[in-house]
Amino acid sequence: MAVPGFTLGAFILLLLVSSVANYPNGKVTKSCRGMIPEHGHTPQSDPTCRISVSQMTFRPGDQIKVALSGPPFKGFLLEARDAENLSGPPIGSFTLIDSQVSQLLTCEDIQGSAVSHTSPSKKTEIKVYWNAPSSAPNHIKFLATVVEKYKIYWVKIPGPIISQPNVLPFTTPKATIASMPTLPPVSHLTKSFNASDCGNKKFCIRHPLNCDPEKELACVFLSFTRDAKSVMVEMRGPSKGYLSFAFSHDRWMGDDDAYVCILEDQTVHIQPSHLTGRSHPVMDSRDPLEDMAWRLADGVLQCSFRRNITLPGVKNRFDLNASYYIFLADGAADDGRIHKHSRQPLITYEKYNVTGYPENIGGSHSLLLLKVHGALMFVAWMTTVSIGVLIARFFKPVWSKALFGDAAWFQVHRMLMLTTSALTFIAFLLPFIYRGGWNWHAGYHPYLGCIVMILAVLQLLSAAFRPPLHDPRRQMFNWTHWSMGTAARIIAVAAMFLGMDLPGLNLPGPWKTYAMIGFVAWHVGTEIVLEVHTYRLSRKVEILDDDRIQILQSFTAAEAEIFQNIPGQQRSSFLLENNCPLQTTHLRLMLSSRRMVSIAGRCQTVKLKDRTVLPQQEGRRQKASLYRFYFGIFGPLSCPYQK
């Protein structure tokens, strides 16, 4: 059983079911033979709709207009049968008059042999043509099933009998009084279920673990008590609409034995059902259930029933001598129709035999593999990749020393990005391991995840072929590397936001969203602040670099050569000899846009021809010191002009 997020089993007792026979689109081919909606309710006895035909006789090849009319109804199924064998296959085919409200079905491999609705919208009349086949029987009877709403419907409403000419009139067999199906008796519970025998006489599943159903309104409780040949089942939970549990062979939806307690008009209906594939549950006969009872009090729904441990010959009911995963869910119901559960079903951690040794266990609304998947993706794309980007973008000037053959910033950046790719790859595999395949019901999240995985692999491959620094292709590489990395980060964040809302993780809202927004805002804000800081420093670099050039240009060639060869501590004397008044401040010269050095001159003002260069003010000195402290530079850097 695999439900969205890793929901599973039975719970799709949760897929939104609509109002018409569980088939709002009219695709009711499964009901062709019996013409019975799979609603689990008893059909009504006195039909309000009628069938009429345009003529009472026909010949092979004739086309006869058939109308179904009455008070507003939502769904219908219309067929023609051999009047002498109403349990046989449909006869002939139909032609539509209005394809907006009706559609053709293929029943018993006969194309167009039945007509049904196209939507649950209300309608009062349906008109079609019936085409008589070449091998038609002598007498044809039209039958219709009509659904007014989910719990109110009529099965096989009889229509007129039409006959071929020159045949004996149809004689209706002597009427027999058909007995209406009787429902098993249902009684009322008088008190809450008791958990004192859990682990001794009862096999119990409780959430929270060891909660008391007699005292705690929020306690979700499911118990199985075995006697000689049967099991007594007790289920308790919130009265939002329905409670349901299911036995499953695996963690994927399909081939599951499910039981539903549905609240309708202050009455609880206890209904066995089964799940096929990812479709909604199909309600089955209540015949296998005995001693059914229910109670509704204080916002809590309780229901109980007994069933035999083995039910040979009863389809879709599992043998309870075996072990199964057990799922427990609740959700809303409307007019007897169950809707998708509002949270992930409670799932046992492993398979259990409820008729074996009594145990007292709990379950989880989420599974460990999916939690690990989310945690690894979060660490990869909100931590390691973000730090790696900051290192590459802002730490090149200060971590340029070699470390194991490459610049320190590059080694750290590469290590963080390899860690990101490794975490992403591991996390990417976990949902596939858990589900055993692709999840078609998780929205856009898995598709975005695949794109992120592809971009992460491409980033690694492109980095392996990184051109040398002065290679003409280096600029193209830089832009490609930046573009793919930025795209991967944006898509990864989008995928995480979508993934948080999947029921599999069972994260509390809305704080999960607020926390994620906070992380994203922190990283974006940090990058913006550092970008602004870098820009302001680069502007200072341009001013000071221009000053350096003008100072050197003010010297003669001989003086410039002498100045460059003078040790740093003696350059102040050189400036004094060249009429530069010295005071107690430093003249800071920027030798490049990334390296800051100090020349130990004490010029307060340097006169260069007709232009005066002002020294750094105290505020600039403090900002430069902050810059050097932030990037871990303690003390002046060496001057490349100094030998």
Where does residue 449 fall: left (phi above 0), alpha (psi -120 to 50 degrees), or beta otherwise? alpha
Taking only the tens place, the pLDDT of each residue in 60-72 is: 999 999 999 999 9
Place of tokens 């907006």: 100
Q: What is the mean pLDDT of residues 258-265?
A: 89
513 three-state secondary structure = helix
Q: How many CB atoms lie within 10 A of CB 24?
A: 18
Dihedral (Cα; 520, 526, 528, 530), 10-degree rounding: -160
More confident residue, 498 or 277: 498
5 three-state secondary structure = helix
Q: What is the mean pLDDT of residues 394-406?
A: 84
- 37 pLDDT exceeds 70? yes
Taking only the tens place, the pLDDT of each residue in 432-472 is: 887 777 877 678 899 999 999 999 999 989 988 888 888 88
- Indicate the average pLDDT of the chain: 79
More confident residue, 622 or 95: 95
- Least Cα distance to 96 among 104, 88, 84 occurs for 104
> For the chain, how are helix, strand and coil distributed in percent, rounded to 5?
30, 30, 40
pTM exceeds 0.85? no
Q: How many CB atoms lie within 10 A of CB 602?
A: 17
**Residue 97 pLDDT level (bands cut at 50, 70, 90):** very high
- 616 pLDDT exceeds 70? no
Which of these ranges, 240-244, 358-362, 492-496, 628-632, has the smallest mean pLDDT?
A: 628-632
Phi, psi (deg, nearest 5) at residue 583: -130, -150
Looking at this protein, which amino acid is placed at residue 594? R
- Least Cα distance to 580 among 572, 591, 588, 570 occurs for 572
The Cα 560–Cα 123 span in angstroms is 99
Place of tokens 């049967």: 230
pLDDT of residue 401: 86
Which of these ranges, 318-327, 475-484, 573-582, has the smallest mean pLDDT?
A: 573-582
- 366 pLDDT exceeds 70? no
* Token representation of residue 637: 């850097």
Q: What is the mean pLDDT of residues 558-580?
A: 57
Q: What percent of the chain has pLDDT over 90?
A: 43
pLDDT of residue 562: 62
pLDDT of residue 14: 35
The Cα 384–Cα 380 span in angstroms is 5
pLDDT of residue 541: 66
Q: What is the mean pLDDT of residues 82-93?
A: 92
- Least Cα distance to 26 among 114, 124, 154, 127 occurs for 114
Taking only the tens place, the pLDDT of each residue in 192-229 is: 999 999 999 999 999 888 999 999 998 999 999 999 89
Q: How many CA atoms lie within 13 A of 523 on its CB side?
A: 18
pLDDT of residue 637: 34
More confident residue, 170 or 424: 424
- Least Cα distance to 157 among 313, 319, 336, 37 occurs for 37
- 622 pLDDT exceeds 50? no
Phi, psi (deg, nearest 5) at residue 177: -75, 115
Q: What is the mean pLDDT of residues 291-320?
A: 93
More confident residue, 608 or 168: 168
In whole angstroms, how far apart are CA 375 and each of 371, 384, 488, 562? 6, 13, 18, 63
- 328 pLDDT exceeds 60? yes
pLDDT of residue 146: 93
CB 161 within 8 A of CB 83: yes
**Residue 416 pLDDT level (bands cut at 50, 70, 90):** very high
Give the chain's count of helices (H) and strands (E): 9, 30
Taking only the tens place, the pLDDT of each residue in 529-559 is: 988 888 887 777 666 656 556 555 555 566 5
pLDDT of residue 432: 86
**Residue 176 pLDDT level (bands cut at 50, 70, 90):** very low
Where does residue 579 fall: left (phi above 0), alpha (psi -120 to 50 degrees), or beta otherwise? left
Q: What percent of the chain has pLDDT over 70?
A: 75
Q: What is the mean pLDDT of residues 509-514?
A: 81
The Cα 387–Cα 401 span in angstroms is 19
Q: How many CB atoms lie within 10 A of CB 314?
A: 14
What is the Cα Rg of the chain in Å?
Answer: 40
160 three-state secondary structure = strand
pLDDT of residue 291: 94
Looking at this protein, which amino acid is placed at residue 386? S
pLDDT of residue 64: 95
The Cα 587–Cα 606 span in angstroms is 9
pLDDT of residue 584: 33
Looking at this protein, which amino acid is placed at residue 387? I
pLDDT of residue 182: 54
* C-alpha of 597 from chain center: 56
- Greatest mean pLDDT among 9-23, 81-95, 159-173 lies in 81-95
Taking only the tens place, the pLDDT of each residue in 382-393 is: 999 999 999 888
CB 117 within 8 A of CB 73: no
